[in-house]
Amino acid sequence: MTLELLHSPLLADPVDVVMRGYQVMAPAPRLTMAAWADGRIVLSPKVSPEPGPIRLARIPYAVEVLNCTSDPRTREVTGMWAAQVAKTTVFVDIPTAFFMHQDPSRQAVYLEDEKKQHVWSTTRLMEMITNTPDLAGLLSQKGGPDSKNTLEYKEYPGGRLSILNSGSEGDLASMSQRIVNKDELDKWRMLKAGDPDALADKRAQNSFNKKIINVSTPRDHNPDQKIFSRITVKYEASDKRKYYVPCPFCNHEQVLREEQVKFVGRVGDDLEDAKYECEKCKMQISHMHKKRMLERGRWIAEKPFKGHAGFWLNALYSPWITWKEYGEAKIKMVRQHDTHKTFQNEWRALPWNPLIEHDKDISPYLARREYYEKVPLRAMTHLFSYADIQKDRIEVIAIALGMARELWGIEHKIFWGEPALSSKGYLPQVWQDLEAWRQKTWEHESGETCRIARLFIDMSYLTSEVLRFCRGKRPLVWPARGMSDINSRHPFISTRPVIDKKGRYKYYQVGPNEGKDIVFANLAVEPPKHTPPLQGEGAGGDGFVSTPGYMHFNQNFDEEFFKQLLASEVGRWKKGIYVYEKISPATRNEGLDLVVGALAAFESTGTDPRPHVEALLRLWEKRQKEANPEYVQQEEPKAEPHAPRKKNWVYGWKK
């Protein structure tokens, strides 16, 4: 690597430093850290995927980090890095060697615990010292390697190195240091004496030319719950640099993001390949381009530099991980809570917010969609519906219900147009579209006709428009309002509407949190083992046993709908009440609201589907017989024992 390549705007040229008026009392090092380390430091096969003299051309993103670390203007360096991008080599090993040989200093390296302290000292440090000729000589100059040098302490001309344990209060109260290097900071445990991070920093407070190096993969971080990832806080306080690489096709510089990794030929958990899609020109970039992209990349800071340089890097930048390997790791790891957390921290290099549940994989739900042209035989002909009013559209769903809350999604529709009253005081066209849809009919498999028996309309937004639309349509159409839980859980639904405080209108109150409990529990119900035959031989029999709570969806429900249904909200305890909240304010969750609202519309009628469904089955059998005279009557359906009807029987099926 040539020196031009190593040029950085922060590169310390001693003359430059003096000219700019910085107070630099010690002579500046002759070489920058990257120029010094490249080809000189020898890595052990025990710690590096590429042992031998280090070649920074393989990890071009390391150059600016190293040069920034040796720059006298830098007082603090923070690395929030993924696990497989040479993090320890760049932030701990090379700086330690540099401050032994090139800019000899009093320095301390703090490791997470005693075990890591010893492993780092014996494998990483000593192997590097033994294999790197310039370093090996340093320690032996002090009358043989064993004279003053122990596992935890090394001396060299001009300085000394303490290798310390962040879990030991004694180690944190040790001598003053110029360089304090803190490895895996987010794994450090709190001590009786306080936060070991602050105690370690104190060791450097008396040095005019101190340098603090923080490095870690991030861990948990959620300011709402007073959980802080130290490395996230430090990165936020730094100048926040990210590594931009140019697209090989359009040269657009971009930060590598997981969303742009596109799977090619997925079979189960394995991929045939994965490509990186340029965020600008949308070209599919093969892994073979990565090397060149990294070489041409550069760090761009979000904030002005004030002595604290911060670097963030995820595993997509790793020269040792292909995009295919990244994609496969993601598929396997985001499935479960523990591995998803590891993936978030060590691959994405992002803190884990304990509120985020693991990504709900919607693919099984997409795969289990069915295809029904007519409303299935085991459902009532009464359909139930819920309309959600948005600024630019009305979203609506129609569902059918069978016994024991078995549910079929029949149709999901979006009517585009602003629902707010026009300047002349008319309801805009989008309301007429909704009304035309409400009047439509669907065919039932028995030959009967299905209609919407009750439509709830969310009145929390554009209340007067909703009330105007509902006028004169009772009991088929009702305004409904979701009740937030402040002191106690609001019941899902009652069979009676309430009157508003001023006695102007009636509406239904819906307890969305209880409704979401029901929907999430039902979404977890396993699909029926076999599809019941409905015609010819074998019809009847166990074909009509319901799957309590199971939710069927038709092919016309799309991926976006399932994302909004399954992955938009998360449950948490708040002041003793279990509530659901959007994962982020921008998340769209209409899918979930629609299903909950339509289920509430059904339950508000207090209907027992059993007699309806049984009557439909008898009708269907009669019609079958008429159509096919040879049709043989099968045994009576083996229906489940009829649950005694309670006052609020609908809740009996909850779990």
Q: What is the binding site for Zn ion (CB under 5 A)?
A: 247, 249-250, 252, 278, 280-281
Question: How many CB atoms are closer than 10 A to CB 333?
Answer: 19
Smaller CB separation from Zn ion, 274 or 383: 274
Smaller CB separation from Zn ion, 47 or 278: 278
Smaller CB separation from Zn ion, 285 or 450: 285
Is 81 in a helix, a strand, or coil?
A: strand
CB of 296 to Zn ion, least distance (A): 13
CB of 249 to Zn ion, least distance (A): 4
Phi, psi of 104 (to 5 degrees): -55, 130
Smaller CB separation from Zn ion, 24 or 283: 283
Cα maximum dimension of the chain: 108
CB of 316 to Zn ion, least distance (A): 16
Retrieve residue 395's tokens. 């979203």
Measure Cα distances from 357 to 137, 230, 334, 440 in Å.
53, 22, 10, 39
CB of 253 to Zn ion, least distance (A): 10
> In whole angstroms, what is the distance from residue 402 CA to residue 610 CA?
7
> In whole angstroms, what is the distance from residue 166 CA to residue 187 CA?
10
Smaller CB separation from Zn ion, 244 or 520: 244
Smaller CB separation from Zn ion, 193 or 250: 250
- Which residue in the block uniquely carries the two structure tokens 């909950």? 596
Smaller CB separation from Zn ion, 277 or 357: 277
Retrieve residue 482's tokens. 């979701």
Smaller CB separation from Zn ion, 259 or 630: 259
Smaller CB separation from Zn ion, 278 or 518: 278
> In whole angstroms, what is the distance from residue 391 CA to residue 371 CA?
32
285, β-bridge pairs: 276
Smaller CB separation from Zn ion, 222 or 284: 284
Query: Does residue 74 contact residue 147 with C-beta atoms inside 8 Å?
Result: no
Q: Which of 102, 156, 92 minimizes the C-alpha distance to 125?
A: 92
CB of 244 to Zn ion, least distance (A): 13
CB of 294 to Zn ion, least distance (A): 16
| Amino acid residing at 136 | A
The residue length of the chain stands at 655
Smaller CB separation from Zn ion, 280 or 473: 280
CB of 250 to Zn ion, least distance (A): 3
> In whole angstroms, what is the distance from residue 445 CA to residue 410 CA?
13
> In whole angstroms, what is the distance from residue 114 CA to residue 190 CA?
15
CB of 324 to Zn ion, least distance (A): 20
> In whole angstroms, what is the distance from residue 220 CA to residue 472 CA?
54
CB of 264 to Zn ion, least distance (A): 18
Q: Which of 315, 331, 362 minimizes the C-alpha distance to 263?
A: 331
Retrieve residue 488's tokens. 């106690």
CB of 328 to Zn ion, least distance (A): 24
CB of 50 to Zn ion, least distance (A): 29
b/e per residue, 71-106, with b = 16+ CB within 10 A? Answer: bbbbbbbbbbbbebbbbbbbbbbbbbbbbbbbbbbb
Q: Which of 254, 231, 251 minimizes the C-alpha distance to 312?
A: 231
Listing DSSP states for 247-278 in one string gives -TTT--EEE--GGGEEEEEEETTEEEEEEEEP
> In whole angstroms, what is the distance from residue 40 CA to residue 118 CA?
24
Strands 442-443 and 449-458: antiparallel
Smaller CB separation from Zn ion, 202 or 287: 287
Smaller CB separation from Zn ion, 276 or 561: 276
From first CA to last CA, the distance across the chain in angstroms is 65
CB of 282 to Zn ion, least distance (A): 7
> In whole angstroms, what is the distance from residue 343 CA to residue 240 CA?
22
- Which residue in the block uniquely carries the two structure tokens 């969303």? 259
CB of 279 to Zn ion, least distance (A): 8
